[in-house]
Amino acid sequence: MADNDNDLSLLKSELLATVAAATDIAALDEVRVNALGKKGRLTEQMKTLGALAPDARKERGAALNLIKDEVAQSIDARQKELAAVALRQRLERERLDVTLAPRPQAEGRVHPTSQTVDEIVAIFASMGFTVAKGPDIESDWHNFEALNFPPDHPARQMQDTFFMPPVDGKPMVLRTHTSPVQVRTMQTQKPPIRVIIPGRTFRCDSDMTHSPMFHQVEGLVIDEVTHMGHLKGCLLDFLRAFFNTPDLPLRFRPSYFPFVEPGAEVDIGCSRKGGELKLGNFGDWLEIGGCGMVHPNVLRNCGIDPEQYQGFAFGMGIERMAMLKYGIPDLRTFFEADVRWLKHYGFAPLDIPNLALTGVAP
Ligand code: PHE
């Protein structure tokens, strides 16, 4: 038996030595197959047990089983060791280089219409106005009737209207101006009212200076004592701040809008000498909007007593103001969604509107 013991302990130490010598998982797998596999050395030894006498078989079998367990445990332990080494090497290899400079991000641009709305809102906010809104699809009543456009009145033809299918038997339009939101505001707010209304407007019109969809900003002030002087002062402060031109002259030219009385077109001073447009006191004039004192009929239509309250309103085209301020020649390009145009005329997301001239800015 001593011989047997000897050859088994030799076999054991040999096998354990090959386990220890395996330097990667693949080599260890090979060791496992050579020791414990179907034709492995221990398995082969097991197969010889049948030829032994029962006592010897029992003894040798037990000894072989012990060796088998020991070798299997040693393979498992080595496997864990090698896995840990492999992980350590991988972590080492794939280490994150935090010193690597970030790749430049493609930066989006703010559309000039959005930027201009932000600037307008910021200036009027500093003058105590809040923002009001209304729907793009508007009832004929809000868009025309309540604003003192009687049915079949020729003034309706001044605005080439997109007509919509009636809702509950009521005629509907795409709003042709932001003025219907004057009506909505007066119906829901009690004076004093100071709102501006930036928003989309629609007219069936398209050329260099007209687009079927464009933006306007409306202003409405209703109070007990309000007059044309307030209107002119308000527009003057706003326009000088917006165009960053402290001596910008303003002119009211009498005009007709059914919902104001008196009504005026708003012109600002400019020069067009040599085909270049400059804003300022140069003797030439450029129209930028309409305005006037809110018509008593409109106040009445909205449930406001014209004996107690008056007010003024104004409306300006937002793209037109952006074109003037930023030298953009063609209105249609605002709506073509050309990223090259946006890259050129757009604004950085954190550009801040200019409040310097309102005197109320921090
Ligand atoms: N809504 C008018 C237009 O679109 C502009 C305007 C607004 C005129 C307010 C007077 C008062 O032409």
Q: Both 81 and 176 in a single domain?
A: no
Bridge partner residues of 289 (DSSP)? 266, 316
The residues near 205 (Cβ < 8 Å, ≥ 6 apart) are: 160, 211, 212
Strand pairing partners for 108? none
Tokens of 234: 């308000």
Same domain, 202 and 269: yes
149 and 231 assigned to the same domain: yes
**58 and 131 together in one domain:** no
Does residue 74 form part of some domain?
A: yes
Q: Which residue has the tokens 């409405």?
A: 220
Specify the DSSP element, H or E, that contains 223. Answer: strand 213-223
Cα 48 from chain centroid (whole Å): 79
In a 10 Å sphere around its CB, with 0-12 CB exposed, 13-18 middle and 19+ buried, how is residue 62 labelled?
Answer: exposed
**Tens of pLDDT along 288-333?**
999 999 999 999 999 999 999 999 999 999 999 999 999 888 889 9
The CA distance from 327 to 151, in Å, is 40
The per-residue pLDDT for 156 is: 78
Give, using CA atoms, the residue closest to atom 12 of ligand 1: 290
* Pair 193, 313: CB distance under 8 Å: no
109 vs 260, residue with greater confidence: 260
Q: How far is the CA of 351 from the centre of ligand 1 (A)?
A: 30
Which atom of ligand 1 is found nearest the CA of 312?
Answer: 11
- Report the run of H or E that residue 137 belongs to, with start and end: strand 137-139
Question: How many residues belong to the chain?
Answer: 362
CB contact at 8 A, 232 and 312:
no
Domain of 274, in residue numbers: 112-358
Residues 214 and 350 in one domain: yes
**Tally of structural domains, the chain:** 2
Last residue of a domain, one of 93, 120, 154: 93
SS3 content of the chain, % helix, strand, coil (to 5): 45, 20, 30
- At 1, the pLDDT band (50, 70, 90 cuts) reads very low
Place of tokens 């030894």: 45
Tell whether 329 is covered by a domain: yes
| Final residue before a domain boundary, out of 93, 125, 149 | 93
Do 194 and 333 reside in the same domain of the chain? yes
- What backbone phi and psi angles, to 5 degrees, belong to 204? -80, 80
Strand partners, 250: 268
Q: Whose CA is closest to atom 4 on ligand 1?
A: 177
Same domain for 316 and 261?
Answer: yes
CA of 337 to the centre of ligand 1 (A): 28
- Own/partner contacts of 244-250, CB < 8 Å, gap of 24 or more, are 244/354, 244/356, 244/357, 245/279, 245/280, 246/357, 247/280, 247/281, 248/279, 248/280, 248/281, 249/280, 249/281
Q: 38 and 119 share a domain?
A: no
Q: What is the pLDDT of residues 334-360, one digit of tens each?
A: 999 999 999 999 998 877 665 544 444
Could you tell me if residue 99 is inside a domain? no
Pairing of strands 310-317, 213-223: antiparallel
Check whether residue 195 and residue 319 sit in a common domain: yes
Residue 101 lies in a domain: no
Say yes or no: 55 and 7 in one domain: yes
Q: What is the pLDDT of residues 120-129, one digit of tens each?
A: 999 999 999 9
Based on the fold, state whether residues 351 and 213 are members of the same structural domain.
yes
Q: Residue 193 phi/psi, 5° resolution? A: -120, 135
> 268 in a domain, yes or no?
yes
Give domain status of residue 100, yes or no.
Answer: no
134-170 tens-digit pLDDT: 999 999 999 999 999 988 887 777 678 999 999 999 9
Say if pTM beats, i.e. exceeds, 0.85: no
Q: Distance (Å, rounded) from C-alpha 277 to C-alpha 162?
A: 33
Here the CATH number for the domain that contains residue 181 is 3.30.930.10
Ligand 1, CB cutoff 6 Å, lining residues: 177, 179, 218, 257, 260, 263, 290-292, 313-315
Last residue of a domain, one of 93, 124, 146: 93
